[in-house]
């Protein structure tokens, strides 16, 4: 069994290694950019320059977006205690309360309402992946996984 595949497989069947939030360079780059523009007092430059570059009038909003991207970073996979959902996860609590490794060991995952909050971003990818975990095993399924996000 591949430790990497099983470690990065969330209880719901998503693969944390494909997530934008997990060990994201975007979050680090957003933090670094925000630090740099604040260090050089870019706010003062943007204030003056916004008369000729209209978009610079949105500088404060830009900093808010950079801060939001920075806060999205997740440093640990779901199974290692991460908070990829950024809210208490009913799926994780269910799996832990049933003393199973993941939803692939539950015969109700195909119609489980606990997956509803994932549909907006992932569609039916979790269920497709759970079937692949059942077919190939936890350590070998990852090369057959579906796209993480609907737009993947």
Q: The tokens of 20 are what? A: 């934008």
Give the pLDDT score at 71. Answer: 92
Q: End-to-end CA distance of the chain: give it in Å, rounded.
A: 27
Q: Kindly tell me the sign of the dihedral angle through the C-alpha atoms of 30, 36, 37, 41.
A: positive
- Residue 87 — pLDDT band, cuts 50, 70, 90? confident
Give the pLDDT score at 82. Answer: 81
Q: What is the model's pTM?
A: 0.85
- Residue 1 — pLDDT band, cuts 50, 70, 90? very low
Q: Where are the domains of the chain?
A: 3-23+74-144, 25-71
Q: The tokens of 112 are what? A: 């489980």
pLDDT for 134 beyond 90? yes
Which residue matches tokens 């195909």? Answer: 110
E strand or H helix at 7: helix 3-7
Instruction: Note whether 59 and 95 are within 8 A (CB).
Output: no
Q: How does DSSP classify residue 2?
A: -
pLDDT for 51 beyond 70? yes
Give the pLDDT score at 75. Answer: 87
- Residue 29 — pLDDT band, cuts 50, 70, 90? very high
């Amino acid at each position: 069994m591949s430790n990497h595949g099983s470690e990065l497989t969330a209880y719901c069947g998503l693969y944390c290694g494909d997530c934008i939030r997990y060990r994201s360079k975007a979050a680090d780059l957003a933090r670094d950019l925000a630090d740099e523009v604040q260090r050089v007092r870019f706010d003062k430059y943007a204030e003056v320059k916004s008369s000729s570059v209209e978009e610079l009038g949105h500088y404060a909003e830009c900093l808010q977006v950079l801060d939001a991207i920075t806060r999205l970073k997740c440093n640990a996979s779901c199974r290692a205690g991460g908070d990829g959902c950024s809210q208490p996860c009913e799926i994780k609590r269910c799996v832990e309360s049933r003393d199973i490794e993941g939803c692939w060991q539950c015969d109700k995952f195909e119609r489980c309402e606990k997956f509803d909050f994932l549909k907006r971003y992932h569609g039916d990818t979790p269920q497709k992946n759970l079937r692949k975990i059942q077919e190939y095993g936890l350590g070998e399924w990852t090369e057959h996984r579906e796209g993480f996000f609907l737009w993947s």
